[in-house]
Amino acid sequence: MWAIVGTWAFAVHGVEAAVPWLAQGGDAMEAVIRAIEPVENDISEQSVGKGGLPNAAGEVELDAAVMEGRTLQMGAVAAMKGFAHPTRIARDVMLRTNYALLAGKGAEDFAHACGYEPEELLTEAARTRWQEAVAAGEVARVLPAPHAQQSTPEGHDTVGFCALSTNGDIAVGVSTSGLGFKLPGRVGDSPLIGSGFYADNAVGAAAATGVGEDIMKGVISFRAVEHMRRGLHPQAAAELSVREVHHTLLMRGRVPGNIAMVCLNRRGEVGAAANHGQFSFAWATQAQSVQHEKVTPVVQRPQEDSAHYDIATAGGSHASKEVT
């Protein structure tokens, strides 16, 4: 049995790219790389790869990570500039070093050493949007007020895929340009193991997307895998994890931001959940062709239709739907 699941509508193209590879017995790690690359290459997507929205200084910084469930090995890059395929570079970190995460110039120097060619990541469309944001005062402030009302930050939708190969191996990969107009050097949940991603052949995998500052507080991907370890279906694990993190933040007096995730178990079953109503995901299995599903929020949010959120607590709410 093989299976793959990914975040957001743009995952459809990634699933389509990975299915032939998985169907012919290809490995799970290469499957997630093949699934992510079409999104990284799509300059119309403002939250991933080339074309992603820049930071407050007008520079595109990328985060990415991969993890294989057989060995629990992982590789990640963070705040990396000038390279359009950070997920492949993250895999090289895993395969060619004894480290787990390289950041900033160190990640860029490593990419150079591996033979990757640097390129300009800031497109004219993203540059124009950044200039408009600067003029409107929308770029990140040095010390944002905890509850200041600002326009919803753009471009914080991570592409993440979990894949199961026919030999039973599981892998996960994530890639993002992060929060639009963020402070330079800001790193969200995506390249952080347990928060943005996790995989274990004995159980399954999970990948998260949304406001990283909230996602990492709940270590949500590891949480979901542990729920599956206890026997929960991926759908139930995703729903419970999102609900737990959302309500934990509320109990601490925080307005939760967007939180969403996808899960997959070792039997090839998938699930997805979110705390806001815009999330969708794509998936396919050996028994089911490519599907695209919209989820229903697992929590009710009184501000769901509000046009303004705090830049630090920006949110909405996506939820889940069983897709076995």
The residues pairing with 281 across neighbouring beta strands, listed in sequence order, are 7, 293
d(CA 179, CA 182): 5
CB burial readout 81-117, b (16+ within 10 A) else e: bbbbbbbbbbbbbbeeeeebbbbbeebbebbeeeebe
Which run of H or E residues covers position 194? none
Looking at 87, 152, 158, 313, which residue is catalytic?
A: 158
**How many residues are present in the chain?**
324
CA distances (Å), origin 213, targets 40, 64, 140, 323:
23, 16, 14, 28
Q: Which residues contact 232 (CB under 8 A, 6 or more apart)?
A: 240
d(CA 35, CA 23): 14
Helix, coil or strand: residue 33: helix
Encoded tokens for 121: 């990541």
User: What does the CA dihedral 201, 66, 73, 165 come to, rounded to 10 degrees?
Assistant: 30
The residues pairing with 206 across neighbouring beta strands, listed in sequence order, are 198, 263
Catalytic annotation present for 158? yes
* Active-site residue set: 158
